[in-house]
Amino acid sequence: MLVAVRSRIKMSDFVLDTDFPSEYWEAYMEMKGFYPSLKVIANNKEYEFNFYDPVRLSQTIAIDLQENYISFSEPNLIVIESVNPENILNALNKEWAKNKFASFVGI
């Protein structure tokens, strides 16, 4: 389980600029079903990812559409089964291995 306080976590090919502050926050993040604005540095380029679980994403889309937004879009959106540090890291590693970072929007 990843627990860090405002750290830069070096993976083999990228760095997470994150703060998973405690087990309480991890449980809260998983319960809420989303983790917004996770900063990732890869190839000297910074990205900001938004992670959702499928249930929370469908709720967010429904609310946005009900509020007459007409459409829903969000850059660098990654949907994972359950939003927790392990799944986030696994998803990022998988996206990196598939060369998907080229299609993500940098900040």
Beta bridge partners of 52: 34, 79
Mean pLDDT, rounded, for 25-37: 87
Q: How many CB atoms lie within 10 A of CB 96?
A: 17
Specify the number of domains making up the chain: 1
pLDDT at 59 over 70: yes
Confidence of residue 77 (pLDDT cuts 50, 70, 90): very high
Mean pLDDT, rounded, for 79-100: 89
Rounded CA separation 24/49 (Å): 21
pLDDT score, position 2: 33
Whether 69 is in a domain gets the answer yes
Note down the domain range covering 13. 7-103
pLDDT score, position 29: 86
Whether 31 is in a domain gets the answer yes
Mean pLDDT, rounded, for 38-47: 83
Rounded CA separation 81/52 (Å): 8
In this structure, the strands spanning 7-10 and 45-52 are: unpaired
